[in-house]
Amino acid sequence: MLSYFEDLPEKEDLLQDSDCCGNGCTNCILDNKPRPSKRVLLAGKRNVILSYTKFRLLRRQTLESGSDGQVLLLHFAHAAEEDGEGAEDTVLDIPPGHHVMMRVGSLLRPYSPYWSDFVAKEFRILVKLQPEGPMSRHLQAVQPNDLLEFRGPIGQYVHEPQPAKCIYIIAQGVAIAPTLPLVRQVLDNEDDMSRLWHLVCARDLQHVYFREEMLEFAQFWNYRSCLYLPHQQCDSPACQEAGHCAQECPQLRSNLRYKETAKVSRLDASELGNHLNPAIPGQRVLIVAGDSRFQKIMAQFAMQSLDVDPANIYML
Ligand SMILES: Cc1cc2nc3c(=O)[nH]c(=O)nc-3n(C[C@H](O)[C@H](O)[C@H](O)COP(=O)(O)OP(=O)(O)OC[C@H]3O[C@@H](n4cnc5c(N)ncnc54)[C@H](O)[C@@H]3O)c2cc1C
């Protein structure tokens, strides 16, 4: 079996300022050096993504193409043929809550996989293209078979199943993607008695991604979700006049599936307090996925309304 230090090439220890994407990520690569995990060490293999490695685009799917930009689903596989010998001694480990850095020339941008396969060395990301964004321009043009470079995993979140916790996961828009592995990690472990509240903020129902996955999660006793859709608007005259649907709008209700709960409002401190459930024991943990402004606001709301210890707040 490889020891920790054998698995960590010396050059990985020497992170330079230029390895940071400059986006002000909460979990900057300079403070969260990609390291081999226990899982990789136990497998006696090398994590193929610890240094920049080529991945081939297998699939590109456009999920949305509207006035507020395009959303792409990109599925990558390790390009073993580019890696020379030893590719069979590698795995791909991107733990839940961790992101990877994409590099195109000198341009670096972080992305958070929502699915990865340890043995097949594949992963998927959901990308919202930003108008005028340099990486967005590049991704707009990528096609299946193209090679792109990634490095990681970067992050600090670690979930301990015991003792059972009350975990609040708040996601904004496409940033719901990296929260899926966090939910699966709890639900897939029968011995994990932690409870999950998955609170998803989006413009409207059309901008809620992964509804199917959330419906699957809803079959578990320890999972609850709520959608916050402040701009939900159907074509009824009353909702058109109000600028958004009423909470009890029949069209909205008919578009919701079994066990889906939605509110036509923003998630604020008082609404967050409705999920407190003080009778349920367990340490409160908050995980926020979204842009930095959203993360800061939600952390403040949670400290006020859920009594979460700042030490148990994680920003993805
Ligand atoms: C830890 C981390 C993980 C991320 N994971 C993902 C991911 O899985 N999928 C994804 O699509 N993006 C993700 N991002 C954002 C991503 O890294 C890029 O910023 C984004 O793809 C745009 O890159 P760009 O070079 O085209 O534009 P940039 O030059 O980065 O941005 C162009 C403009 O868009 C704004 N902008 C950038 N991102 C957002 C956003 N999310 N919401 C609102 N405005 C924004 C910027 O402030 C800027 O004004 C993540 C960011 C961080 C910090």
CATH of the domain at 103: 2.40.30.10
Q: Give the C-alpha separation, 297 to 214, whole Å.
A: 24
Mutate to test the pocket of ligand 1, among 99, 111, 294 (most ligand atoms within 8 A of CB): 111
**Ligand 1 lined by 23 (C-beta under 6 Å):** yes
Q: Give the pLDDT score at 33.
A: 82
Q: Do the domain assignments include residue 159?
A: no
Atom of ligand 1 nearest to the CA of 128: 11
Asked whether residue 35 falls in the same domain as residue 78, the answer is yes
Q: Give the pLDDT score at 2.
A: 41
Q: Give the C-alpha separation, 184 to 96, whole Å.
A: 9
Mutate to test the pocket of ligand 1, among 130, 135, 179 (most ligand atoms within 8 A of CB): 130
Asked whether residue 113 falls in the same domain as residue 170, the answer is no
Asked whether residue 104 falls in the same domain as residue 215, the answer is no
Q: Give the pLDDT score at 43.
A: 84
Q: Do the domain assignments include residue 63?
A: yes
* Residue of 160, 170, 173 lying closest to 64 (CA atoms): 173
Asked whether residue 193 falls in the same domain as residue 271, the answer is yes
User: Tens of pLDDT along 190-243?
Assistant: 999 999 999 999 999 999 999 999 999 999 999 999 999 999 998 888 888 888
Asked whether residue 127 falls in the same domain as residue 184, the answer is no
**Ligand 1 lined by 110 (C-beta under 6 Å):** yes
Q: Do the domain assignments include residue 264?
A: yes
Q: Give the pLDDT score at 17.
A: 86
Q: Do the domain assignments include residue 160?
A: no
Atom of ligand 1 nearest to the CA of 107: 25
Q: Give the pLDDT score at 66.
A: 63
Asked whether residue 94 falls in the same domain as residue 169, the answer is no
Q: Examine the fold and report which residue of 121, 154, 187 is the final residue of a domain before the chain moves on.
A: 154
Q: Name the residue with the closest Cα to ligand 1, atom 24.
A: 133
Residue entry with tokens 């992101």:
99
Asked whether residue 182 falls in the same domain as residue 77, the answer is no
CB count, 10 Å around CB of 216? Answer: 14
Q: Give the pLDDT score at 50.
A: 93
CA angle 158, 107, 180 (to 5 degrees): 30
* Residue of 27, 40, 115, 133 lying closest to 77 (CA atoms): 115
Q: Give the C-alpha separation, 219 to 54, whole Å.
A: 38
Asked whether residue 140 falls in the same domain as residue 229, the answer is no
Q: Give the pLDDT score at 88.
A: 80
Q: Is 110 annotated as a binding residue?
A: yes
Q: Examine the fold and report which residue of 130, 154, 178 is the final residue of a domain before the chain moves on.
A: 154
Structure tokens at 20: 């940071």
Q: Give the pLDDT score at 42.
A: 81
Asked whether residue 185 falls in the same domain as residue 58, the answer is no
Asked whether residue 146 falls in the same domain as residue 11, the answer is yes
Q: Examine the fold and report which residue of 154, 178, 199 is the final residue of a domain before the chain moves on.
A: 154
Asked whether residue 27 falls in the same domain as residue 104, the answer is yes
Atom of ligand 1 nearest to the CA of 109: 17
Domain that holds residue 179: 165-315
Q: Is 4 annotated as a binding residue?
A: no
Low-confidence ranges of the chain (pLDDT < 70): 1-13, 65-67, 84-86
Q: Give the pLDDT score at 24.
A: 79
Q: Give the pLDDT score at 14.
A: 75
Cα 110 to averaged position of ligand 1 atoms, centre (Å): 8
Q: How many domains does the chain have?
A: 2
CATH number of the domain within which 208 lies: 3.40.50.80
Q: Give the pLDDT score at 16.
A: 87
Atom of ligand 1 nearest to the CA of 71: 11
